[in-house]
Homo-oligomer: A and B are copies of this chain.
Amino acid sequence: MLTEQQKRTFMIAAIEEAKMAKTVGEVPIGAVVVHDGQIIGRGHNMRERFQDVTYHAEMLAITEACEALHSWRLEDCQLFVTLEPCMMCSGAIVNARLEAVYYAAKDPKAGTVDSLYHLLNDDRFNHQVRVESGLMEEACSQLLKQFFRAIRQKRRAAKRLSK
């Protein structure tokens, strides 16, 4: 089992990934996959840069973790992510048989772990995933809010200039 200190350390690593997304103008979401107390996969949202709809933070972290373990099964691994996973990422998490998911902020519009569905805990699938939410929620939530606020401000400024 991970200690509270370890959980915090891994969520900070996910936040660092989210910040990397922000610096290149992507929605700041980050994720890491942990195995035996070590980070073996990292990812941040790169959907816009690569114009690939599958390039969510969790997907990229999971792919990197599969490469590290030479296995599509991530049974003893934990995923840390700054925002509640969407349907696609929830599916990848179940398919990879991850042991646990720790997410920070809820996503009421597209989150399928707690908000719209409980897809990680449906016993009709061949795997269920332990979930902990709310770890460093405020920091992750603020990161997203500031990002969208800055975008709105830029748009307003552009409108004023174009008048």
Contact = CB atoms under 8 A, between A and B. Distances in A.
Interface of A: 47-48, 51-55, 59, 62-63, 66-67, 70-74, 86-92, 94-96, 109-110, 112, 116-117, 119, 122, 124-126
B87 A90 contact: yes
Contacts of A73: 53
Contact of A66 (B51, B71, B116): B51
A101 to B, nearest CB: 14
B53 A72 contact: yes
Contacts of A63: 52-54
B53 A95 contact: yes
Contact of A54 (B71, B92, B124): B92
